[in-house]
């Protein structure tokens, strides 16, 4: 008879402990240890007990391994293919995470439709929705492909058996937290179940050369729920980000064994589903007014992709003893430092003012290159002066009031030029790096924040 024992697992890092502790000894997280009953079984190496689709692999000498060009599977979306490095690699295991309701299932259902029509059979296994619910979602997205097979089941062994029988080009698991295997006596979503199910999917993908995409739930901190080793086991980790009240969504690669992690894809949530944004800068600046104070345009890098976005500020006299600072889409700590620099180096009185800043479109900007444009927007509303509509302001502001250089200045200027911007205020260190000479463009370099204010409000 198999021996049964009780073990405690950490929900954050997956560390195992023989007894409960208030704090995980590995990652230091408090109250993260959960109790699970583990049934020890002897693993046999007989062919009848290898598992679904499991083969015996033998070592091969490195020179004997044939190298051929891998034909990637196109997802049907240029934004996704760019993030993945050219498409889906056969036999890869990918993990997609994101907040609830952000559009993960919608995105993968649309990708499944494109792969089913262009490549072959796609198996979509859902443990959260029934087949009828999947049909209703597909009708809303105008999806009706005969090669797209849906399976509503939480038994991973049954899902793998169906995948072995149908040999799909792509297998989608929605989601990994709902799947379970009978070899582990724990509830679905527990640390041991998630770890074992992911290990089986990884083994199945490599042995059968079938690409698998799994959806993972996220915690309130924004990390994928389950042990941290889940991200180490898979080949690609993608995050689908965005505010639910806004239409823009960003697909970001956190880990990619087959491509760069600096690429991002931008989508817009519409009634017909998720649509690609080939020119997100134009969409973000479509409703910008030319005669309002407190507004400035900056260019930030989403990966290596320059995007123009409008920043707005509102400066009002405080009604209380302590002035309020509120930031939406911009780091609050950087805002506080920026206000201190404006007060100390430029002489603006902000200690008795409430300051509110906002990045239009629900985007989150954490790049230091946006400091100077945010400072100009604040002063614009403080002095009720309008920034020229065709001006772009770039630069990192230091504590001494100096403006420091930023990367990829040529790409930023080229993107702004396409939308009709002709005036640029950039760091003086970047001015020498600009090789493109155009008489229509007015590019001025500044060394201090005071010089930038004089150019913006001449």
**Axis crossing angle, helix 449-456 with helix 371-383, rounded to the nearest 10:** 50
CA atoms within 13 A on the CB side of 194: 30
The CA distances from residue 384 to 113, 293, 323, 343, 377, in Å, are 52, 6, 20, 17, 10
Long-range Cβ contacts of 58-62 (<8 Å, 24+ apart): none
275 is in an annotated binding site: no
- Alpha-carbon dihedral of residues 158, 159, 165, 171, nearest 10 degrees? -170
CA 114 to chain centroid: 22
Element (DSSP H or E) covering residue 266: strand 264-270
266 is in an annotated binding site: no
Give which of 399, 362, 357, 352 is closest to 377, Cα–Cα.
357
102 is in an annotated binding site: yes
417 is in an annotated binding site: no
Sign of the C-alpha dihedral, residues 207, 208, 212, 214?
negative
How many angstroms from the chain centroid is the CA of residue 337? 27
3-state secondary structure of 337: helix
Residue 381 phi/psi, 5-degree rounding, is -75, -30
Sheet holding 4-10, edge to edge: 16-17, 4-10, 33-39
E strands, 329-454, where? 353-359, 391-393, 396-397, 403-404, 423-427, 442-446
Q: Say if residue 216 carries a ligand binding annotation.
A: no
Q: Is 100 annotated as a binding residue?
A: yes
* Residue 306 assigned ligand-binding role: no
354 marked as binding residue: no
Q: Enumerate the known binding-site residues.
A: 98-105
Q: Residue positions in the annotated binding site for ATP?
A: 98-105
């Amino acid at each position: 008879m198999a021996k049964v024992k009780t073990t405690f697992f950490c929900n954050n890092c997956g560390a195992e402990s023989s007894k409960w502790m208030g704090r995980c000894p590995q990652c230091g997280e408090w109250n993260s240890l959960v109790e699970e009953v583990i049934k020890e079984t002897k693993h046999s190496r007989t062919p009848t007990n290898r598992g679904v689709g499991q083969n015996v692999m033998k070592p091969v000498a490195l020179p004997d391994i044939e190298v051929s060009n891998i034909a990637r599977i196109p997802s049907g979306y240029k934004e996704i293919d760019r993030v993945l490095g050219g498409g889906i690699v056969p036999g890869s295991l990918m993990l997609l995470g994101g907040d609830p309701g952000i559009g993960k299932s919608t995105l993968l259902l649309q990708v499944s439709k494109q792969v089913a029509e262009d490549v072959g059979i796609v198996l979509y296994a859902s443990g959260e929705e029934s087949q009828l619910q999947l049909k209703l979602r597909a009708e809303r997205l105008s999806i009706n492909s005969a090669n797209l097979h849906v399976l509503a089941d939480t038994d991973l062994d049954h899902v793998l058996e169906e995948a072995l029988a149908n040999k799909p080009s792509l297998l989608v698991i929605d989601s990994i937290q709902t799947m379970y295997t009978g070899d582990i006596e724990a509830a679905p979503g527990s640390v041991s179940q998630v770890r074992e199910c992911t290990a089986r999917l990884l083994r199945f993908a490599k042995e059968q050369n079938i690409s698998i995409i799994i959806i993972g739930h996220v915690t309130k901190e924004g990390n994928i729920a389950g042990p941290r080793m889940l991200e180490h086991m898979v080949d690609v980790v993608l995050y689908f980000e965005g505010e639910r009240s806004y239409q823009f969504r960003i697909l970001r690669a956190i880990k990619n064994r087959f491509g760069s992690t600096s690429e991002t894809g931008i989508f817009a949530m519409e009634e017909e589903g998720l649509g690609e944004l080939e020119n997100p800068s134009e969409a973000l600046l479509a409703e910008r007014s030319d005669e309002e104070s407190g507004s400035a345009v900056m260019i930030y890098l989403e990966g290596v992709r320059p995007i123009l976005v409008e920043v707005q500020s509102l400066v009002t006299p405080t009604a209380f003893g302590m002035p309020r600072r509120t930031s939406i889409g911009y780091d609050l700590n950087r805002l506080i430092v920026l206000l201190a620099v404006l007060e100390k180096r430029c002489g603006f009185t902000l200690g008795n003012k409430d300051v509110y800043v906002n990045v239009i479109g629900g985007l989150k900007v954490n790049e230091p290159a946006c400091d100077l444009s945010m400072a100009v927007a604040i002063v614009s509303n403080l002095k009720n002066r309008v920034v020229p509509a065709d001006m772009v302001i770039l630069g990192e502001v230091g504590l001494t009031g100096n403006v420091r250089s930023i990367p990829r200045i040529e790409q930023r200027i080229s993107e702004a030029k396409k939308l009709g911007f002709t005036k640029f205020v950039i760091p003086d260190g970047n001015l020498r790096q600009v090789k493109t000479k155009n008489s229509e463009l007015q590019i001025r370099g500044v060394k201090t924040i005071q010089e930038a204010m004089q150019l913006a409000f001449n």
